[in-house]
């Protein structure tokens, strides 16, 4: 095995595939990256039994072959190599990396002990890469972090016709985001669902955000894997068991008061008044039909308050309180300049949707592309 490649291309390929390497593993070969040189191409692969990453890049190949090397060590080497061409080769059981007069030798791992990489499902359709990354970020923020409830650590992905729906919940919050996507001809009109780790999906979506379009492979009958491909990069992620609870009835807000406020100003005010709040203490929002909302936080002499312009319809006044971190997560997930809040009262659900700069909200009876449900705190501060 022998090849020549630009340092930047090698470093980017190693860094991308190395994202899936486990921090600690009882299986030493899983700490390795598999390098394969064939016919002017270098392929770098990583695998941890849950996620497989594979990337191809151009290289001058003098001799075909494969080698398994310690991934993190190779990544550190790539970071310190001088710019310019890098010559790599396999000399017996040692892998050499040379550039600009600097030469490194790496011991290799037993290739025969490396598990076979999973084969991703055939493409089911494609979606705009940047829009997909944004949508995943908007819902992944509410995913749970308790590994004893694995389904709640995931994002539910539903493909129905030309619509993709992403949803996630940690029991206290529920986020749903819809966006258009392009199904393959064979998948047109079909429906498929998958539940996968929010952390892994977010990592994949962000890494492919600049590839133009992301092709998604998902067998309608399941199969345990979902595949993502774009820009010469391919990832296969193992699915989680189960599915998220339905959100239809949760998002029904009959009789709710409706408040509207500038999203950025509200987020800034929440951050400001929350500095006096103890851990897990709520921030209270008092809306009035007079056109304002008063934010308050803290107890006793350590208190903070700020008033903002806000509209309220359907009630003369409405008071609710939220975990400030949860409220900030919700506000940060919206790209619109204003946010619409449907409020049922203390200890009840609150549904947030975006409002455009022109003041256009979702028509009654229609569903917004992005909805974020929060539970308000029962005891007001």
Question: What's the rounded Cα separation, in Å, for the pair 47 and 114?
Answer: 9
Out of 65, 84, 113, a domain closes at 113
Out of 174, 204, 238, a domain closes at 238
Kindly tell me if the per-residue pLDDT of 222 is higher than 60.
no
What mean pLDDT is predicted for residues 272-285? 90
Nearest to 83 by CA among 3, 13, 8: 8
Structural domain includes residue 98? yes
Structural domain includes residue 38? yes
Write out the two tokens for 44.
């770098």
List all residues 6 or more positions away from 37 whose beta carbon is below 8 Å from its beta carbon: 1, 2, 3, 43, 59, 61, 63, 64, 65, 66
Q: Are residues 290 and 352 in the same domain?
A: yes
Structural domain includes residue 142? yes
Kindly tell me if the per-residue pLDDT of 220 is higher than 70.
no
Kindly tell me if the per-residue pLDDT of 365 is higher than 80.
no
Question: What's the rounded Cα separation, in Å, for the pair 115 and 381?
Answer: 56
Q: Are residues 6 and 73 in the same domain?
A: yes
What mean pLDDT is predicted for residues 189-196? 83
Q: Are residues 155 and 176 in the same domain?
A: yes
Structural domain includes residue 250? no
Q: Are residues 320 and 343 in the same domain?
A: yes
pLDDT confidence band for 359 (50 / 70 / 90): low
Question: What's the rounded Cα separation, in Å, for the pair 34 and 11?
Answer: 14
Structural domain includes residue 118? no
Q: Are residues 128 and 211 in the same domain?
A: yes
pLDDT in tens, 110-133: 999 999 998 888 888 999 999 999
pLDDT at 121: 85
Structural domain includes residue 18? yes
Q: Are residues 103 and 131 in the same domain?
A: no
pTM of the model: 0.90
What are the beta bridge partners of residue 126?
182, 215
Domain count, the chain: 3
Q: Are residues 59 and 138 in the same domain?
A: no
Range of the domain at 158: 123-238
Q: Are residues 61 and 104 in the same domain?
A: yes
Q: Taking the alpha carbons of 3, 4, 10, 13 in that order, is the dihedral positive or negative?
A: negative
Q: Are residues 153 and 217 in the same domain?
A: yes
CATH number, residue 17: 3.10.150.10
Q: Are residues 333 and 275 in the same domain?
A: yes
Pairing of strands 338-343, 257-262: antiparallel
- Are 44 and 73 in contact by the 8 Å Cβ rule? The answer is no
């Amino acid at each position: 095995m022998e090849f020549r490649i630009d340092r930047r291309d090698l470093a980017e390929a190693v860094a991308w595939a190395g994202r899936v390497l486990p921090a600690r593993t009882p299986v030493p070969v899983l700490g390795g990256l598999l390098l394969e040189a064939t016919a002017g191409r270098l392929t770098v692969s990583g695998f941890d039994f849950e996620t497989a990453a594979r990337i191809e890049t151009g290289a001058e190949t003098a001799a075909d072959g494969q080698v398994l090397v310690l991934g993190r060590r190779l990544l550190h080497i790539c970071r310190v190599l001088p710019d310019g061409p890098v010559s790599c080769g396999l000399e017996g059981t040692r892998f050499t990396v040379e550039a600009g007069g600097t030469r490194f030798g790496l011991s290799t791992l037993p290739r025969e002990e490396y598990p076979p990489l999973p084969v991703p499902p055939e493409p089911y359709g494609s979606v705009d890469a940047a829009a997909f990354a944004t949508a995943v970020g908007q819902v992944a923020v509410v995913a749970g972090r308790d590994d004893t409830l694995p389904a709640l650590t995931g994002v539910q992905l539903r493909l129905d016709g030309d619509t993709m729906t992403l949803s996630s919940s940690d029991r206290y919050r529920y986020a749903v985001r819809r966006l258009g996507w392009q199904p393959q001809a064979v998948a047109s009109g079909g429906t498929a669902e998958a539940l996968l780790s929010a952390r892994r999906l977010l990592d994949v979506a962000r890494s492919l955000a600049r590839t133009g379009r992301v092709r998604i492979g998902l067998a309608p009958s399941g199969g345990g894997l979902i595949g993502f491909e774009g820009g010469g990069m391919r990832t296969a992620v193992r699915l989680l068991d189960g599915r998220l609870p339905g959100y239809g009835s949760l998002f029904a807000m009959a009789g709710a008061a409706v408040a509207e406020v500038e999203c950025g100003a509200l987020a800034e005010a929440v951050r400001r008044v929350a500095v006096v709040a103890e851990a897990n203490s709520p921030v209270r929002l008092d809306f009035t039909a007079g056109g304002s909302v008063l934010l308050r936080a803290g107890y006793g002499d350590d208190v903070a308050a700020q008033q903002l312009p806000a509209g309220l319809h359907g009630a003369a006044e409405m008071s609710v309180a939220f975990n400030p971190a949860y409220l900030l997560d919700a506000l940060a997930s919206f790209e619109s300049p204003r946010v619409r809040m449907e409020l049922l009262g203390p200890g009840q659900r609150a549904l947030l949707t975006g409002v455009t700069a022109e003041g256009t909200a979702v028509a009654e009876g229609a569903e917004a592309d992005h909805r974020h449900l929060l539970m308000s705190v029962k005891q007001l501060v």
